Structure 1
Amino acid sequence: MTPLTRRASLKSIAALGAAGTLGGLHGLAGAQAKGLTVGVIYVGPRDDYGYNQAHALAAAELKKVAGVKVVEEENVPETTAVQKSMTGMVMQDGAKLLFPTSFGYFDPHVLAQAAKYPEVRFSHCGGLWTEGKHPKNAGSFFGYIEEAQFLNGVVAGHMSKSGKIAFVAAKPIPQVLRNINAFTLGARSVKPGITCSVIFTGDWSMAVKEAEATNSLADQGCDVFTMHVDGPKVVVETAAKRGKMVCGYHASQARLAPQAYLTGAEWNWITAYLQVLEAARTGKPHPNFLRGGMKEGFVKMSAYGPAVTDAAKKQADEVKAKMLAGQFDIFKGPLKDNKGKQILAAGQVHKQTDLALEQMNYLVEGVQGSF
């Protein structure tokens, strides 16, 4: 696929305290008066109904902010190509704030550009910025999306008739495992005996394998699906064609399968974008490490589909209210992995900011699958 480039056609929110002093960037304080150009870079198409679309929706909201000009480029691979894209936005467009959104952009590409252009701010999605190691004009933001996946699981638990739900996943990295585990725990909070079957495709965007995995899981009797791949479109449409129900991910896929779509775990990236933008426009230190969940407005749920029962809505809404109040923990004991090993004893809890969750390397009891 040939990238269609723009230039070718011309511990929670408190983690802000980790932000360092940004010396040379205080000159941006006057940007509000003269305007600020912001660059957004996507690894895939902006209309993928998934990861990239979630960021594109936030970029669209940025365009509504007075004095802000947004330039975008899609289909930029995680290679030196993204460094060329960033250079172009800085040198040709005068961008002073960049959002390179894909995980693989961070090291070495964002780090190299941040060192090269100390007067520009770089805010990356998902990378682990480290004080004393990484440039102060670089930073990362991310959200606790597993909170929304837990709520997906609550709804799935109510809606499943077979007692078998499904997860199509890309790679068994900690963030993906957190989502699989949260989805399963949400469902088992409704039906303790329910199982979640998972298939890993091996990469973030593999349409053929995503379709094969969905059909295989449907053949196994799974009746409610969710996923963690860049573009959920294939999984959603394939599951719906098989007469199955779906909980979405990244952005809303309700338009793809209105009757089959139950709800979804969505990013609300405009929350992070605006915090980073405000710091740039006022000359405040760059937010180097931003994290948040449902309470902080970093993630949200899709609207309920027509098939969702009142009982499912009631329980999911009750759990969501606790999350918004900061009174709900997903990973709490007693908790075992799917091989019978105890992870947490009764009374033990892993908070969202705990390093143990950043390093998760297990699947919980009830998950059928391995890696």
Structure 2
Amino acid sequence: MSLFKNIVKCFAIALALTTTFVHAEDKKPLKVGFVYVSPIGEAGWTYTHDVARKYIEAQFGDKIETTYVENVAEGADAERVITQLAKNGNDLIFTTSFGYMNPTIKVAKRFPKVKFEHATGYKRAKNVGTYFDRIYQARYLTGVLAGYMTKTDTIGYVAAFPIPEVMRGINAFTLGLRSVKPNATVKVVWVNSWYDPGKEHEAASSLIQQGADVLTQHTDSPAPVQAAEAAGIYAIGYHSDMSVFGPKAFLTSPVHNFNEFYAKRVQQVLDGTWKSEDVWGGIDTGMTTLAPLNKSVPADVAQKIQAISDDIASGKLHPFAGPIMNQAGQIIVKEGEQIADKELLGMSYYVKGVEGKLPN
């Protein structure tokens, strides 16, 4: 009997050790990776994603472990970096630029157990979700603000690439501007880069020379804000609060807030409830916001901006509600109608008020 008892005792100990080991394995942190298209810096697109990364670190503590690779070029280099993150055991990977779309889909096929979230894209798979915010809503608000602050009725716009996301922003801004100043115009200079401070500053200077007294941008660096500060005119930044780079010039910025979205997706992976989705949140969800307005903005203008923001959040006002004319003066949205999401996602034209020819 003593031999039998010893055998049972040894089995119990072994079982206990195995259970302890399994529990220890279960407590391994969830690994979350991020791929950034530009340096993190102190402002801009990548900065907002890294703010969200730090937010989930604070929220989840030792339940997760994050890592990131910054300044990754779109294309082959992106595929290499995404692949390495998957090989390194990351369970969830956020790829944060439009040009990472095809590399993300390609890598996801090779790593079906890894969850991927791609920002601003439209291609999904069983293990690839997409997300963005309705930043065009905030763009419309900043167009309204520019309309109240301009004296020359000429606005300069530093733009990255002629893709639908950027076109939506230009058009929403112009519609907001012309709701206040019907004859105001927007001049666009394309820099063909998401992040190139030198090109952005050069483009901003060119627009100032053309008579723009308010600048805005769809690029990542604060260079246009800095150019406006030096020239003594106003600027509206993008992605994040850029006020530190132009205290007098900076009026506000459309701002992305990915904090809660990232936290939700991490929790879903931890819970085993994650599934591929297309998320497009706006002002009503808090995913799209405005940076604090400059003190130079008159109180009544600030009140009007807030009222319009409330109307957008409630659905009372849609930035792309008709009547809307294209650059040639043709009605493309009738009064009482509005542009559907599907068309917004494929937007490839200028609305009336934008000067210049759209690049191929």
In which range does the TM-score fall when normalised by the shorter chain?
A: 0.7 to 0.9
**3-state DSSP of counterpart to 2:279:** strand
Instruction: Give the AA of the match of 2:338.
Output: V
Q: Which residue of 2 aligns with 1:262?
A: 251
Q: Do the aligned partners of residues 329 and 286 (structure 1) sit closer, same or farther apart at CA in structure 2, a change above 3 Å counting?
A: same
Q: Do the aligned partners of residues 213 and 91 (structure 1) sit closer, same or farther apart at CA in structure 2, a change above 3 Å counting?
A: closer
> What is the TM-score when the length of structure 1 is the normalising length?
0.85
Whether the aligned pair in 2 keeps the contact of 1:158 and 1:311 (CA below 8 Å) is: no
Spell out the pairing of 1:103-114 with structure 2 (5 A cutoff): 103-107=98-102, 109-114=103-108
Within the alignment, does 1:116 sit opposite 2:110 as a pair? yes
Q: CA deviation at 1:157?
A: 1.0
Q: CA deviation at 1:48?
A: 5.7
Q: Do the aligned partners of residues 35 and 206 (structure 1) sit closer, same or farther apart at CA in structure 2, a change above 3 Å counting?
A: closer
Which ranges of 4 or more aligned residues in structure 1 deviate by more than 6 Å? none
Q: Which residue of 1 aligns with 2:149?
A: 159
Give the RMSD, CA atoms, in angstroms.
1.9
Whether the aligned pair in 2 keeps the contact of 1:119 and 1:137 (CA below 8 Å) is: yes
Instruction: Give the AA of the match of 2:264.
Output: Q
Q: How many residues align?
A: 333
**3-state DSSP of counterpart to 1:46:** coil
Match of 2:43 among 33, 46, 49: 49
Q: Which residue of 2 aligns with 1:75?
A: 71
Q: Which residue of 2 aligns with 1:219?
A: 209
Match of 1:146 among 121, 126, 136: 136
Q: CA deviation at 1:307?
A: 1.2
Match of 1:368 among 332, 338, 355: 355
Unpaired segments of 5 or more residues in structure 2? 1-23
Q: Which residue of 2 aligns with 1:84?
A: 80
Match of 2:336 among 334, 347, 353: 347
Instruction: Give the AA of the match of 1:283.
Output: G
Spell out the pairing of 1:225-244 with structure 2 (5 A cutoff): 225-229=215-219, 231-244=220-233
Whether the aligned pair in 1 keeps the contact of 2:197 and 2:221 (CA below 8 Å) is: no
- Distance (Å, rounded) in 2 between the aligned partners of 1:90 and 1:181: 38
Whether the aligned pair in 2 keeps the contact of 1:210 and 1:234 (CA below 8 Å) is: yes
Q: Do the aligned partners of residues 32 and 101 (structure 1) sit closer, same or farther apart at CA in structure 2, a change above 3 Å counting?
A: farther
* Higher deviation after alignment, 290-299 or 83-92: 83-92
Q: CA deviation at 1:33?
A: 4.8
Instruction: Give the AA of the match of 2:318.
Output: D
Identity within the alignment, %: 33
Q: Do the aligned partners of residues 222 and 42 (structure 1) sit closer, same or farther apart at CA in structure 2, a change above 3 Å counting?
A: same
Instruction: Give the AA of the match of 2:185.
Output: T
Q: Which residue of 1 aligns with 2:17?
A: none
- Higher percent of residues as helix: 2
Q: Do the aligned partners of residues 367 and 83 (structure 1) sit closer, same or farther apart at CA in structure 2, a change above 3 Å counting?
A: closer
Spell out the pairing of 1:284-299 with structure 2 (5 A cutoff): 284-299=273-288
Larger radius of gyration: 2
Instruction: Give the AA of the match of 1:120.
Output: V
Q: Which residue of 2 aligns with 1:335?
A: 324
Unpaired segments of 5 or more residues in structure 1? 1-29
Deviations 1:201-244 (A, max 9, x none): 23323333322221121112211111111x23111111211111
- Distance (Å, rounded) in 2 between the aligned partners of 1:42 and 1:48: 14
Higher relative contact order (CA 8 A, sep 6+): 1
